[in-house]
Amino acid sequence: MSTQLKSEADRAFVSLQHIHKTFLPDSVSEVVLFTDFSLTVEKGRFVSIIGSNGSGKTTILNLICGSIPADSGSIGINGRVVDKMKEYERSRFIGRVFQDPSKGTCPQLTILENMALADNKGGGFGLERGVSKKRLDTYRTQLELLRLGLEDKLGLQVGSLSGGQRQALALLICTMTPLDLLILDEHTAALDPRSSENVMELTERIVREKKLTTLMVTHNLKFAAQYGDRLIMMHRGSVVVDAAGAAKSALHIRDLTDKFNEISIEDGN
């Protein structure tokens, strides 16, 4: 069994091996979330992760990105073991869009300055001119893909954009430079239905175009069923549904809802 797991881990693009994670250990509110949790994701997969509150879906993302440390276990991304790397070091090959639209961009900088910074990701941040005039057209072309008319507003402060616009921009910005892994952390949850649809369509387009390996946590069962080629449902720190390819396509949203209600009722939600 263990050798089989190991070889599976070798083929895996993203792998979480034997993860243990307890929140607030040795206190009255101690929560044991993961005990010997393992998960692997193949290259190029678009994985949707759903689950009730406290099921551990966002914790998986936080562990992969390095926002919180695992108690034990090992995480690998594209052949690298990232356990010892700090969050900002892992960010060099991971792109992340947060639920909060204000996290993915700088509100006081202009659209142009935000893009210029993102464009330079992986390069040195030295004393060269911050915004290169030569890149303006490239930025405009990329902004046109958003179909929000932002290409004419390069000098606008990002803080004055709407949540949907900011989230679309955040998505564009974090996929500007080559990535190993795209992490979407409930990135449509704070948006109105219309904007969520837009951002989701844009996500699909970018992920397909750049063939990105993607992990998307969502509360929206419809999006989870509709997008992506693998679906994982989490419950209390373990995977209860894991369907890929044809099995996923066969999953109907009603099956998901039923299953989801079942585990939610168990939790008293």
Partner 1 sequence: MDIILGLVRDVLEEGFIYGIMAVGVYITYQVLGFPDLSVDGTFPLGACVTAALISVGVNPWLACLIAFLCGAAAGCVTGFLHVKLRITDLLSGILVMTAMWSVNLVITGGKAVLPFYDQPTVFSSGPASLLSGGLQDFRVVILGAAVCLAVKYLIDLYLRTKSGLLLRAAGDNPQYVVSLGRDPGSMKILGLAIGNGCTALSGCILAQQTESANISSGFGMVVMALASVIIGTSLFRKVKFVRATTSVVFGAILYKTCLVAAMQLGLPTNYLKLLMAVIFTIALVSNNFFAGRRKTSHVNPTQI
The residue range among 16-24, 29-37, 70-78, 100-108 that interacts with partner 1, by the rule CB under 8 A, is 100-108
The distance of closest approach from Cβ of residue 232 to partner 1 in the complex, given in angstroms and rounded to an integer, is 24
CB nearer to partner 1: give 72 or 132.
Answer: 132
CB nearer to partner 1: give 116 or 234.
Answer: 116
Q: Map the footprint of partner 1 across residues 70-99, applying CB under 8 A.
A: 86-89, 91-92, 95-96, 98
The distance of closest approach from Cβ of residue 242 to partner 1 in the complex, given in angstroms and rounded to an integer, is 29
Q: Which of 56, 76, 101, 104 binds partner 1 (CB under 8 A)?
A: 104
Report which residue type is found at 159: G
Cβ 212 vs Cβ 206: under 8 Å: yes
63-67: long-range contacts, CB 8 A cutoff, minimum separation 24: 63/16, 63/19, 63/21, 64/14, 64/16, 64/90, 64/94, 64/181, 64/183, 64/215, 65/90, 65/91, 65/94, 65/96, 65/183, 66/90
Per DSSP bridges, beta strands 181-185 and 213-217 are parallel
Helix (H, G, I), strand (E, B) or coil at 177: coil
Nearest-angstrom CA–CA distance, 194 and 50 = 21
Q: Map the footprint of partner 1 across residues 169-228, applying CB under 8 A.
A: 174
First to last CA, the chain: 36
9 φψ region: left (φ > 0), alpha (ψ -120 to 50), beta (else): alpha
Q: Is 105 in the site for partner 1 (CB under 8 A)?
A: yes
The residue range among 76-84, 141-149, 155-163, 212-220 that interacts with partner 1, by the rule CB under 8 A, is 155-163
CB nearer to partner 1: give 107 or 245.
Answer: 107
Q: Which of 31, 109, 146, 156 binds partner 1 (CB under 8 A)?
A: 109
The residue range among 42-50, 114-122, 144-152, 218-226 that interacts with partner 1, by the rule CB under 8 A, is 114-122
Q: Is 106 in the site for partner 1 (CB under 8 A)?
A: yes
**CB neighbours (10 Å) of residue 266?**
11
Cβ 186 vs Cβ 99: under 8 Å: yes
CB nearer to partner 1: give 121 or 259.
Answer: 121
Task: Catalog residues that contact partner 1 under the rule CB under 8 A.
Answer: 86-89, 91-92, 95-96, 98, 102-109, 113-114, 116-118, 120-131, 157, 159-160, 174
